[in-house]
Structure 1
Amino acid sequence: ALRAAVEAGDVPEAILDEKVRRILRLAERTGALGGGLRPRLSSVDPGGPARTVLTRGAVLLQNDGILPLAGTPDAPLRVALLGPGATRPRVQGGGSSEVFPVRVSTPAEALAAEPGIHLTVVDGTASDRVEPFEADELRAPDGTVGAVRARLFDGDGAVLSDERRETARVIWLGDLPDAARRLEIEFDVVPPHSGLLRLGIDVPAAGTLSIDGVPVAAADGGARVEGAHIAHTDPLGVAIDVVAGRAIRVRVSAEAPEDLPLRILDVRLGRAYAVDPASALEAAVAAAREADVAIVCVGTPAGGESEGHDRTDLTLPPEQDALVAAVLAAHPRTVVVVAAGAPVEMPWRHDAAAVLLTWFGGQELGAALADVLLGREEPGGRLPTTWPARLEDAPVSDVVPRDGILSYREGLNIGYRAWATADAAPAYPFGHGLGYTAWALGAVRVEEGRDRLFLVADLTNTGRRRGRHVLQVYLSRGESAVHRPPLWLAAFAAVEADAGVRSTVRIEIPPRAFAHWSPAAGAWTTEPGEFTVSLGFSADDVRWSGRVQPLVGASLGSIVTGAGA
């Protein structure tokens, strides 16, 4: 159809040429055109956008004044950096969003480079959970670090493809060649620890696992569909003794039968190191007791958050909760850093001196975290979701279809809207986030523009340093002929100011914020009457409220009443 359109003159050939140029340009940049060309990778700027995104997005959930940390080269602060996220942080979610960064700045590396910090690093956790291999544990047979060799064969044993993959999960998602019958993955594992290493391999049907040329495990069985991939019912596994730094050769052969569901071939390889849980926890507690400050880095596990499956709970791994609780009992000056993409339960939060949410911080996580902890940057984020203390407190938790039907009984009352009428209080409300200074809301007034309403507020930085704050405007309506949520976010504005400076903030509330959809009219419609407008620092922290009466079909009306909360 495209060729016919070009030949008929309906689609200019120049448009096609430009699209082909873009494809060739990408191929040239990645070295895919051959001819000795090498991929061109831009240098990573530690002070660049990736670092700024984390500092602007990190949310300081609570702080008793311990942050920012203060240490000097002459009087360094003794810091115990604990938890699995200290050296192997979670920097991104799983599934199709996953990318492979050129490098990852870890909290341990970043804080060790700070002259005002004397650092002790201890993991403190032990788990038999099989985790994906880290890049520095892998070597392709040709010596390439952080890669494996993956070859596809047809039924006669002829090689269909021979690639290097930069992950120990090798997947073809619907584009597996029709002739493919077998996949072979080969790589070296360079273990960072001596002791017992357990390998876990998911294969789609029949498969074998060999270590240093010796077959050690085999499986033959049917495939199952699990989310967005195909996996064997019983993953292959083996436990072997390893020596730190001494490579072992691993080869995995997996069948790709012609009737493989959806023609998806998904082979996942992971490992677990045998560590005594009691000894690991004891070492972390001992390090915390010897320090001025303890920092515990925890978060959701690899694969815990992905588009391929739903979570069944909001808990962190139990060994991580146990670590935080033990460290808090040993040292009250403890900062907990949480890496997660969505709400998690934090049963220990009341005992922590500070809780900092970094989300999935990306490749500059360590450097940006050091910036925030040491006060070079202020955590600038605010929660875009409500975080419950317990899953059972959440007003909406029934999300399982029954008989193929998912009933959205909550209607418009999702997220913070539902929490406005819930019996339980959240751990942290929508819009919540602290900084390193203090703010005071002054006079608030309303200004009218053409078809627009503006709230104008005086906001003063009453602290001792420059900071950033987010003012939030919510609307509500008690008596209404239209079904409405109890409140809804209408507008917000971020403010930056030096210590002692008063800023005048002008926030636009667009007419659409007052409108509802009318199926009868087939248009957005504004209901006559008064709306309550609130200005605050979160959905649960309203500092001023008043009433407005927008004019239907015309410009918005003026303020009726207003009072500080």
Structure 2
Amino acid sequence: MSEERIERLLARLPLEDRVRLLTGETAWKLYALPEIGLRQMTVSDGPIGVRGVTEQRLSSAQLPAPSAMAATWDAELIADLGRIMAAEAVAKAADVVLAPVVNLQRTPVAGRHFECFSEDPLLSGRMATAFVEAVQAEGVGVCVKHFVGNDSETERTSYVARIAPRALREVYLAPFEQVVRDGKPWMVMAAYNAVDDGVESSPATEHDRLLAGVLKGEWGFDGVVVSDWLATKSTVESARTGLDLVMPGPGGPWREHLLAAVRGGEVPEKAIDEKVRRLLRLAERVGALDGTPPAAPRNSGDDPATVATLRSAAARATVVLRNETSLLPLRPDIQRIALIGANALDPFVQGGGSAHVVPPHVASPLAEIARAFPDAEVTAHRGGTTRRHLPLLDGGAFDGGAFEIEVLDAAGSVVQRRTESAPWSGRVTELPDAADTVRVRTTLRPTAPGDHLVEVAPVGRHHVSVDGRTLSESERIAGPEVVLDSSANHPEGVTTAVEITEPRDVEVIAEVQAVTPGSFVRFAHVEVRHQEPGPSVEDEIAEAVAAARRADVAVVVVGTNDETESEGWDRPHLDLPGRQNDLVRRVAEVNDRTVVVVNAGAPVLLPWLDEVPAALWWWLPGQEAGGSLADVLTGAVEPTGRLPWTLPARAADVPVPHAIPVDGVVDYAEGLDVGHRGWDRLGRVPAREFGFGLGYSTWQYGDAVQTGPRQVTVPVVNTGARRAREVVQAYLTAPGQDRPVRWLAGFAAVEVDPGAAAAVAVDVPQRAFEMWDESAGIWRIPAGEYILQVGRSSRDLRSSVRITVETAS
């Protein structure tokens, strides 16, 4: 009946209305057609939370980053987080969440590495499927992205991903195929980049073989294919393939030209009908055709049940990298704890870019650890800044002042005035159409004697003066690229020293361009940063080391920050920012009970990893950061995480060290050997391998036995002193075949009391045995002997069985 209803509605629509539906009305909303009962639908960014429409500026639950989700290797927990995501979408009146990202972590320097689940296609697909099913079961759509080959940020809107057909099928399309076939998402996003699959080289929004042939035809996807924002550059070429919806609106190549292209015979009308049919199907699925308007958007994310789930998830995702002498969990009778590190005082809870949400709160590590150890003295010490930029100007240097903002038109007349209080992001949005320049003025009144550093960082054309002197000026116009390059959120600045001998006013005036990247957004951006005279980084490290010497336990939190991991740019290296490696080593020298906590989404080099007693990978933990860390340190929650990617020991060993295009092309020359497969192929030893994680117990494995055509069962015994969870991983190898050295074929988990045993059955999907036959264009299972190895990680394999395939199929 649903399809019949859609056909009836479609038949009522004139061509003009059908074409209008295929471009967004705004950046986040689609057109309504009240005459057929279609209300406006809203989409929202959402990999780690549902932001809602940008101008709403509402709080929303902030989940751990997707890599942390994947580190749980727990589909049930992912489903719990999916249900939270769906509830947040309802709170923000969003019909579709633009998540999950199922692109693979091809290189560890990729800027959106933290937004992806894993370097492995099977793990990515399993986690994404659990998430999609849970969200959509609540009547909220998901948009799986970015289809396909959008695995890095450098030139991401223009590069050509050159991927051989077999690698494309077996590796990069694999997680998309799994989630489309099993999770049945209601929307898929076509990527910015082009794809050269050896037969067709086209932008992802125009790739007929991938969109119409594979996604819609072969896999049977019946939802909406939407473009990434500003990705569609053509009218006829994109409209004749599988793309259904161009975002954002208003405007764009379809809104301006598609009607004429249909009337001129360049685009078949039946293609328009098929696109509208899919949009109406989406509308029915999310309730946009039932006459019920969504509730008003509201603040959310602080419901007690939500808080508890997010806290538990972040703790369970934490990976124990090292735990010599069983230092962890910490004894409850500790008297003095030194909490050290810039990320301990200000944890990095979410990466930059479109994943960003405003949480209702961020649980402080200091407060939560102090609460967890009520009888201990807990002190906090930064140990030096890790940031390249100065901190944003805060209220302390204002002496009651504020930012005065004037919006000017091209003639220099003021068309709007507003004020902002500190600390302020520096971003001016919701500009009137006449806006040409934005003037920002503020007056500092520093009181501390000495040299105060003032840094002003504008985007685009500008003139900046500090203390009556021109600091910087430029006529360079910022174009559409700035909305797609998140470095515009942390622009480079110019710094000057202002000498203060007694309190006085220091005036900062910045006139900056009103940037118009597209019809859907206009903004101006200028950050004002300030640093008072104070101790040097060396002074702060020395103070932290002294505190560590006095403490029973030193907890050092190191990591990245929002200048490091973000959509919009790839990292230039894998080093921790600042002098954090020096800090760790100097603390460990004076305290042999040092726990190092790594607060990062993507791999970083840890040259001291095997020198410290204990180390944890804490990810980007989301709003319940502090509570999750306290639960891990006390042992209230076992950190059951397993690495969903490989942790390098040396940058030189990374199989795919970067993804810098050469003549506009990113060549996926590693073929099938992405991630841990590449490490195995090259015979290199990482710091910690894919799948690694110690947990808080020890495990004994028995001999695996084959218990089904594609099933292996292995007995495990919890030989530790507490109830614990084990993730049994199964890897296939096929001697003599043109396959990776080994590949993840399945996994299963079990929770067992101390001293107890369990038989863990791991099912292996048929696809794990199959390989893509390029010449025939089909999947085949080669005859021969396969070895299925089971163990605790990709390199800690405890037992194996041999499976013989007599006849190729």
TM-score range, shorter chain: 0.7 to 0.9
Once the two structures are superposed, residues 492-548 of structure 1 have per-residue CA deviations (whole angstroms, 9 ceiling, x without a partner) of 112112212212212110101101112333222111111111101001100011211
Residues 1:547 and 2:802 aligned together: yes
442, 453, 461: which one aligns with 1:198: 453
Return the alpha-carbon distance in structure 2 between the equivalents of residues 94 and 70 of structure 1: 36
User: Is 1:119 aligned to residue 378 of structure 2?
Assistant: yes
2:362 is aligned with 1:101: no
User: Using a 3 Å threshold, how does the CA distance of structure 1 residues 195 and 56 change in structure 2: closer, same or farther?
Assistant: farther
Structure 1 residues 196, 101: CA separation in 2 closer, same or farther (over 3 Å shift)? farther
1:495 aligned residue: 750
**Deviations along 1:107-134, whole A, 9 cap, x unmatched?**
1111122314321211121467314539
Counterpart selection for 2:681 from 421, 425, 434: 421
The residue number in structure 2 matching 1:159 is: 415
Code of the residue aligned with 1:16 in structure 2: it is L
2:14 is paired with a residue whose SS is: helix
Show the 5 A alignment for 1:219-230.
219-223=473-477, 227-228=485-486
User: Is it true that 1:376 corresponds to 2:632 in the alignment?
Assistant: no
**Residue 582 (structure 2) pairs with residue 322 (structure 1):** yes
Following superposition, the deviation at residue 318 of structure 1 comes to 3.8
Task: Give me the whole-angstrom Cα distance separating, in 2, the residues matched to 1:524 and 1:134.
Answer: 59
How far 1:218 moved relative to its partner? 4.4
Deviation at 1:410, TM superposition (A): 1.3
Partners in 2 of 1:373 and 1:241 — Cα distance?
A: 45
Q: CA deviation at 1:425?
A: 1.0
- 3-state SS, counterpart of residue 420 of structure 1: helix
The Cα shift of 1:28 comes to: 9.0
Q: Does 1:4 align with 2:24?
A: no
| Contact preservation (8 Å) 1:447, 1:456 | yes
Partner of 2:464: 208
CA-atom RMSD in angstroms: 4.1
* Residues 281, 42 of structure 1: alpha-carbon distance in 2 compared, 3 angstrom cutoff: closer
Mapped contact 1:62–1:354 kept (Cα < 8 A)? yes
Contact 2:673 2:681 in 1 (8 A): no
Deviation at 1:299, TM superposition (A): 0.4
The equivalent residue for 2:672 is 412
Whole-angstrom distance in 2 between the partners of 1:242 and 1:43: 44
The answer to whether the 8 A contact 2:301-2:307 is kept is: no
Cα pair distance change 1:20/1:329, threshold 3 Å: closer
Once the two structures are TM-superposed, the CA of residue 151 in structure 1 deviates from its matched residue by: 5.4
1:456 aligns with 2:713: yes
Q: Which of 526, 541, 548 is the aligned partner of 1:267?
A: 526
Q: Is the contact between residue 445 and residue 506 of structure 2 (CA under 8 Å) also seen in structure 1? A: no
2:663 pairs with one of 398, 403, 419: 403
3-state SS, counterpart of residue 459 of structure 1: strand
Query: 2:787 is matched with which residue?
Result: 532
1:445 is matched with 705
Which SS does the other structure have where 1:337 is aligned?
strand
- CA distance 1:286–1:103, shift in 2 (3 Å): same
Partner SS for 1:507: strand
Contact residue 717 and residue 755 of structure 2 kept, 8 A: yes
* SS class of match (1:499): coil
Give the deviation of 1:152 after TM superposition: 3.6
- Matched residue of 1:48: which SS? helix
Distance apart, 1:345 and its partner CA = 0.6
Q: Is 1:471 aligned to 2:758, yes or no?
A: no
Q: Deviations over 1:253-296 (max 9, x none)?
A: 33216898997744344444543233212111111111111111
Matches within 5 A, 1:165-204: 168-171=424-427, 178-185=433-440, 197-203=452-458, 204=460
Q: Give the conservation status (yes or no) of the 8 Å contact 2:322–2:610.
A: no
User: By how many angstroms is 1:91 displaced?
Assistant: 1.0
Measure, in 2, the Cα distance between the counterparts of 1:140 and 1:504. 67
Residues in 2 aligned to 1:107 and 1:51: alpha-carbon distance in whole angstroms? 12
* Distance in 2 (alpha carbons) for counterparts of 1:383 and 1:111: 25
1:237 is paired with a residue whose SS is strand
Q: Give the SS at the match of 1:121.
A: strand
SS of the residue corresponding to residue 456 of structure 2 reads strand
> Would the aligned equivalents of 1:332 and 1:351 in 2 still touch at CA under 8 Å?
no
CA separation of 1:531 and 1:115: change in aligned 2, threshold 3 A = same
Structure 1, gaps ≥5 residues long:
555-565
Residue 41 of structure 1 deviates from its aligned partner by: 3.8
Partner of residue 278, structure 1: 538
Query: How far off is 1:238 after superposition?
Result: 3.2
1:563 counterpart residue number? none
Paired position in structure 2 for 1:557? none
* Gap change, CA 1:489 and 1:264, over 3 Å in 2: farther
User: Which range moves more in the overlay, 163-172 or 285-294?
Assistant: 163-172
Say whether residues 1:485 and 2:507 are aligned partners.
Answer: no
Tell me if the contact between 1:140 and 1:186 (Cα under 8 Å) persists in the aligned partners: no
By how many angstroms is 1:312 displaced? 1.4
Bigger mean CA offset, 59-68 vs 301-310 = 301-310
Which SS does the other structure have where 2:545 is aligned?
helix
The offset of 1:437, in angstroms, is 1.1
Residues of 1 paired with 2:447 and 2:700: CA distance? 51
Q: Counterparts of 1:162 and 1:551 in 2: how far apart (Å)?
A: 76
Contact 2:330 2:635 in 1 (8 A): yes
Query: Is the partner of 1:421 in helix, strand or coil?
Result: helix
| Contact in 2 for aligned 1:187/1:251 (Cα 8 Å) | yes
Equivalent residue, structure 2, for 1:66: 327
Give the deviation of 1:149 after TM superposition. 7.1
How many residues are matched?
A: 532
Q: CA deviation at 1:47?
A: 4.7
Task: Tell me by how many angstroms 1:349 deviates.
Answer: 1.2
Give secondary structure in 2 for the equivalent of 1:530: strand
Which residue in the other structure is 2:567 paired with?
A: 307
CA 1:486/1:153 → structure 2, altered by over 3 Å: closer, same or farther?
same
Larger displacement relative to structure 2 (218-227 or 333-342): 218-227
TM-score, scaled relative to structure 1: 0.82
Shift of 1:251: 5.4
Q: How has the CA–CA distance of structure 1 residues 12 and 219 changed in structure 2, closer, same or farther, with 3 Å as cutoff?
A: closer
Helix, strand or coil at the partner of 2:792: strand
How far residue 69 of structure 1 moved from its aligned partner, in angstroms, is: 0.4
Counterpart of 2:225 in structure 1 is none
Q: Distance in 2 between matches of 1:121 and 1:320?
A: 16
Give 1:415 shift. Answer: 1.0
- DSSP 3-state at the match of 1:97: coil
Change (3 A) 1:195 1:103: farther
SS of 2:38 mapped into structure 1: helix
2:513 is the counterpart of 1:256:
yes
Q: Where does the alignment leave 5 or more consecutive residues of structure 2 unmatched?
A: 1-9, 22-32, 45-51, 60-91, 94-295
Which residue in the other structure is 1:558 paired with?
A: none
- In the superposition, relative to structure 1, how do residues 390 and 188 fare at CA in structure 2: closer, same or farther (>3 Å)? farther
Deviation at 1:327, TM superposition (A): 0.6
1:169, distance to aligned residue in structure 2 (A): 3.6
- With normalisation by structure 2, the TM-score equals 0.58
SS at match of 2:544: helix
Shift of 1:379: 0.6
Report the structure, 1 or 2, having the larger helix content: 2
C-alpha spacing 1:260/1:53, structure 2 compared with 1 (3 Å): closer
Call closer, same or farther: CA 1:112–1:233 in 2, change over 3 Å: closer
Distance between the aligned counterparts of 2:725 and 2:423, measured in 1?
A: 39
